[in-house]
Amino acid sequence: MRHTGSATPNADFHEPAPYGRVAIIGGGAWGTALALAAERAGRETTLWLREAEAAAQIARTRQNPFLPGHRLPGSILATTDLAAALRGAELAVLVVPSQHLRGIATRVEALLPEGIPVTLCAKGIEADTGALMTQVIAEEMPGRPQAVLSGPSFAIEVAEDQPTAVTIAAPAGPDGIFAEGHPAARIAVTFASRHFRPYLSDDPIGVEVSGAVKNVLAVASGIIDGRGMGSNPRAALLARGLAEISRLSVALGGRAETVLGLSGAGDVILTCSSTKSRNFSFGQAIGAGRVPDTARGAVVEGVVNARSVLALAQKRGVAMPICEAVDRVVHHGLPVERAIAALLTGPLRAEPRALEHRASIAHPATEAPLRRRVFA
Ligand SMILES: NC(=O)c1ccc[n+]([C@@H]2O[C@H](COP(=O)([O-])OP(=O)(O)OC[C@H]3O[C@@H](n4cnc5c(N)ncnc54)[C@H](O)[C@@H]3O)[C@@H](O)[C@H]2O)c1
Ligand SMILES: O=P(O)(O)OC[C@H](O)CO
C-alpha cells in the first residue's frame, strides 16, 4: 500500500525512501502490531521474540499469544534468534518494556552495523536512573540515529487495521525542519499506509515525557472509574494531568505545546478512557477494591512509572500531585479515599497561564512567528 501525503512539515518536501527491511525487536502485543503495520506498508519484516513458546506458537498457528486472534502472514519471519532478526535490517524498532530497554539495546548494539537507525517504542522512564529512553540509547548505542514512536495506539486496534495516527519524534535542524533523508522522515514513510499515519515532531523530550506520564494518569483515571466517581473527576484529571506532563517536559528541555499533540492529549484521552488500556484496567481494579489481574504477564508501565516519573519530577522540583497520589496508592498502600482527599484539599491554585508568552519561535511549516505557550 502506498502512502501519498508528505511525511514532513516542509511544504516542498520530497518524500524520502522508506527503509526496506525492518527488524522489530520485542514480540509483545505492540511489537507484533507494529510488525503487521510494517508488513502492510510493504516492508520486509522480522520479529524477534524473547519467549520460545511464543515463537513456537507462531510457527504452529501464525498467532502470537501476546496478541491472540491476529494472524501473522508467513512473510513475517518470527524468531528468537536476535542475530537472525537483525540480519540485513535497515531499521531496528525496539519494542521491549521500558525497564528492559537498556539490556536489549546492549545486545542489539553488538549486532547492528554502525549507522543503522533505531526507533524507540517503549513508553516509560528508567526507574534506576530516571533516564528517558532516548538517553538510555545515547548511552548504550552512542552516535546511532534514533527516533521515538508514540501516540494513541492500542496494539489490538492497529492489528485490526483501524485508522491510527502516531508521532515520530527526533531532533531536527535549528529551524525545526527535517533535512531531506532525515531518519525520522524515512521512518515515517516506512510505516505509513492507508490506515497508519505517522506525523513528525522535533520534540522527542516532550513526546517521551507524554508517553511515560500518560500511563500513570491512566491508572489514576481507572481508579476514579472503578470507584464509580462519575465524569467530572475524570475531566479534571485529564486537564490537570496534561498540565503535569507539560511542566515536566519543559523542565527537561521539551516544549509545552507538544502536550497538545498525538503523544500528549491524544494518548491521554485514549488511555484514560478505555478498558482496552492495561493501565486503566489496572487502576479500575484498585478503585473497585479488587486485586488487579496481572496474570497474563502484560506490561502495566504506569505502575513502575508512577515511581520513576515522581522521582524525576522531585529531582527537577516539578509538582506532579496526580502522579504522586498514584505512587502513594500503588507503592505505599495509601487508601484511595485519602489520596483523592489530598488532591482536593491542597492550596487553591491558578490554572495554567496558557497565553503567557515566554518566547517567539518560528513554526517549521510556515516560518511564520508563533508564540510559544508555557503552562505555569
Ligand atoms: N500494547 C500496546 O497497545 C502498546 C501500544 C503502544 C506502546 N506500548 C508500549 O510498548 C512497550 C511493550 O509493551 P507490549 O504491549 O508490547 O508488551 P506486552 O505486555 O504485550 O508483553 C510483554 C513484553 O515484555 C517482554 N519482556 C518481559 N520481560 C522481559 C525482559 N526481562 N527483557 C526483555 N523483554 C521482556 C516480553 O518479551 C513481551 O514482549 C511498553 O513500553 C508499552 O507501554 C504498548
Ligand atoms: O494498554 P496501555 O495502557 O499500556 O496503553 C497502550 C498504549 O500506550 C495506548 O496508546
What is the position in ligand 1's atom list of the atom closest to the CA of 54? 37
Q: What is the pLDDT of residues 36-45, one digit of tens each?
A: 999 999 999 9
Per cent of the chain over pLDDT 90 is 84
Residue 358: band (very low, low, confident or very high) from pLDDT cuts 50, 70, 90: very low
What is the position in ligand 1's atom list of the atom closest to the CA of 104? 33
Neighbours of 70 (CB within 10 A): 18
Q: Give the Å distance between the CA of 99 and the centre of ligand 2.
A: 16
For residue 355, the model assigns a pLDDT of 37
Place of cell 519484516: 45
For residue 350, the model assigns a pLDDT of 86
Q: Where are the domains of the chain?
A: 21-202, 206-345
Q: Give the Å distance between the CA of 279 and the centre of ligand 2.
A: 7
**Segment 288-292 mean pLDDT:** 90
Residue 167, strand partner residues: 150, 199
Give yes or no for residue 176 CB within 6 A of ligand 1: no
Which CATH number is correct for 21-202, 3.40.50.2300, 2.60.120.370, 3.40.50.10070, 3.40.50.720? Answer: 3.40.50.720
Residue 374: band (very low, low, confident or very high) from pLDDT cuts 50, 70, 90: very low
Res 371 pLDDT > 70: no
Q: What is the CA radius of gyration of the chain?
A: 20
b/e map of 32-55 (b: 16 or more CB within 10 Å)? bbbbbbbbbbebbbbbbbbeeebb
Q: Using most ligand atoms within 8 A of CB, pick from 34, 166, 221, 270 the residue to mutate for ligand 2.
A: 270
For residue 297, the model assigns a pLDDT of 65
Residue 175: band (very low, low, confident or very high) from pLDDT cuts 50, 70, 90: confident
**Segment 310-337 mean pLDDT:** 97
Neighbours of 247 (CB within 10 A): 23
Q: Which amino acids are annotated as binding site for sn-glycerol 3-phosphate, given as ranges? A: 123, 151, 153, 214, 267, 277-279
Q: Which amino acids are annotated as binding site for NADPH, given as ranges? A: 30, 50, 123, 155, 278, 299, 301
Q: What is the pLDDT of residues 2-32, one digit of tens each?
A: 343 444 455 445 689 999 999 999 999 999 9
**Catalytic amino acids?**
214
Neighbours of 252 (CB within 10 A): 18
For residue 192, the model assigns a pLDDT of 98
- Choose between 4 and 290: higher pLDDT: 290
Q: Give the Å distance between the CA of 14 and the centre of ligand 2.
A: 33
CA distances from 96 to 29, 50, 100, 110, 120 (A): 10, 10, 6, 17, 9
Per CATH, the homologous superfamily of domain 206-345 is N-(1-d-carboxylethyl)-l-norvaline Dehydrogenase; domain 2 (1.10.1040.10)
Q: What is the mean pLDDT of the chain?
A: 90
Place of cell 507462531: 58
Q: What is the pLDDT of residues 341-350, one digit of tens each?
A: 999 998 888 8
For residue 194, the model assigns a pLDDT of 97
What is the position in ligand 1's atom list of the atom closest to the CA of 124? 41
**Segment 128-135 mean pLDDT:** 97
Q: Which amino acids are annotated as binding site for substrate, given as ranges? A: 123, 278-279
Residue 127 and residue 118 in contact, taking contact as beta carbons nearer than 8 Å: no
Residue 19, strand partner residues: none
- Residue ranges of alpha helices (H) inside the chain are 29-40, 52-61, 82-86, 101-111, 133-140, 155-159, 183-191, 204-226, 231-251, 267-271, 278-287, 301-316, 321-332, 336-345
**Segment 81-98 mean pLDDT:** 98
Residue 64 and residue 25 in contact, taking contact as beta carbons nearer than 8 Å: no
